[in-house]
Amino acid sequence: MKFSLSVIVASLGAASAFAFNSGSSQAVAQSFRTTQKGAALTQPAFKNHFQTDDSSTALSATAAAASSDAIKTRGGGALSGIDVPLMFYFLFWYIGNYYYNITNKLALKAAGGSAGFPMTISALQLAVGAVYGIFLWLAPDAREKPTVTMDDIIKMLPVAFCFAGAHSASVFALSAGAVSFGQIVKAAEPAFAAVLSQFVYNKPVSKAKWACLPIIIGGVILASVKELDFAVSALVAACIANLFAAFKGNENKKLMETEGLKDRMGSVGNQFAITTILGFLISVPFVLLREGNKLGEFVTLFKTNPVISSNLIASGLWFYGYNELATMTLKKTGAVTQSVANTAKRVIVIVGVAIVLGESLDPIKMLGCSIGIGGVFLYSIIDQLLAKKKKA
């Protein structure tokens, strides 16, 4: 399957689509509601769908702008009440996540899989995103710089540490096993979040949510039974990624309670850029401890193997772009829409990537996948459903 550079307009344009006013926090908030502009990246074009050694990466930036009139209201837009910018957010979020998983797997596979350089690749993906975030601050009229203090940075360290841990563990899981399997296990994150909320952060989880967890866990177990590319290390790493992600969610809620922090950061994009920069810096010592003795070998591979270099850079850009877009998209939608969006995204990635990479789509595995993801969806909306039933 071949993709033309002119056909795929990548996520980064929409991800960078916040423009900022200088001045008061009200001006900043107003700019979130009414103005969006930035730059876009087109997907690297690889001969024979990313995989040939003689292929080269073509990265180009395309200006992207959304009319403020189209986003003044959630239902507002140029097309009969459809929020067109929001639709594009969803589109580029899904595209970014899909291509991140493909380019990430190709880079990992070319570098030797789990026995190669998963920690190095995960850290460099964050480095690519950090460079892009800094570029947006330096480029004229692209994105207003944050005005955070050193105290703010220190308070952000727990979130950045969990972010780096979740990303590194996730990349290792995807290097050790099939992408589809890793995504199925990662779908069980609500189970980890529930345990942490209940027993670590003293935030009780409803009985209805607890009742959904066996469905999620059962689906993951069923999917694992028929996984041809099963590896215990992939399962453990994906579970660790879930644990870090659950911690990150709770720590981020605490962070956002800091007085004035939102105004000093200025935007969701700035928060993610700072978190990415800190996450990269935190990752470096672990890379040196785990793979430092063979970094020379990696440098040689990076210089001589375009499959590694091109897919690593592309995956870093896709990762940064789709994460920003996911946050922006979810902030513009309600809880049920978020649940549907996350569920649909997971299904698209699991099935789409499995087809492209030739991974197992055994019926039992797909049944387990469906049960697990269905359980996640039910977990996400069960409290709202019961609340509506009580009101009725």
Contact status, residue 296 vs residue 184, Cβ threshold 8 Å: no
pTM over 0.85: no
Residue 164: per-residue pLDDT? 97
User: What secondary structure does DSSP assign to 245-305, as a single string?
Assistant: HHHHHHHHHHHTTSTTHHHHH-SHHHHHHHHHHHHHHHHHHHHHHHHGGGHHHHHHHHHH-
Contact status, residue 244 vs residue 169, Cβ threshold 8 Å: yes
Scanning the chain, the segments in alpha helix (DSSP H) are 12-15, 25-34, 47-50, 84-110, 118-138, 150-176, 179-186, 189-199, 207-225, 232-255, 261-265, 268-291, 295-304, 306-331, 335-357, 363-391
What is the H or E stretch that residue 39 is in?
Answer: strand 36-41
Residue 173: per-residue pLDDT? 93
Residue 367: per-residue pLDDT? 87
Long-range pairs for 25-31: beta carbons < 8 A, 24 or more residues apart: 25/262, 25/263, 28/263, 28/266, 28/267
pLDDT, tens only, 212-262: 889 888 888 887 776 666 678 888 999 999 999 989 988 988 888 888 998
∠ Cα 69 135 20 (to 5°):
30
Residue 54: per-residue pLDDT? 43
Residue 124: per-residue pLDDT? 97
Orientation of helix 189-199 relative to helix 232-255, angle to 10°: 50
Residue 29: per-residue pLDDT? 41
Ranges of residues in the chain whose predicted pLDDT is under 70: 1-82, 226-230, 334-336, 338-339, 392
Residue 100: per-residue pLDDT? 95
Distances (CA, A) of 119 to 174, 211, 266, 295: 12, 36, 31, 11
Residue 280: per-residue pLDDT? 97
Residue 187, φ and ψ in degrees, nearest 5: -65, -15
Spans of all domains in the chain: 88-391
Contact status, residue 329 vs residue 93, Cβ threshold 8 Å: yes
End-to-end CA distance of the chain: 51
Compute the distance between CA of residue 67 and CA of residue 126 in angstroms, rounded to an integer: 31
Residue 125: per-residue pLDDT? 97
Of 37, 15, 3, 18, the residue nearest 266 (C-alpha): 18
Under 8 Å CB-to-CB from 329, ≥6 apart: which residues? 86, 89, 90, 93, 341
Q: What percent of the chain has a predicted confidence (pLDDT) above 70? A: 76
Compute the distance between CA of residue 11 and CA of residue 96 in angstroms, rounded to an integer: 6
Residue 307: per-residue pLDDT? 95
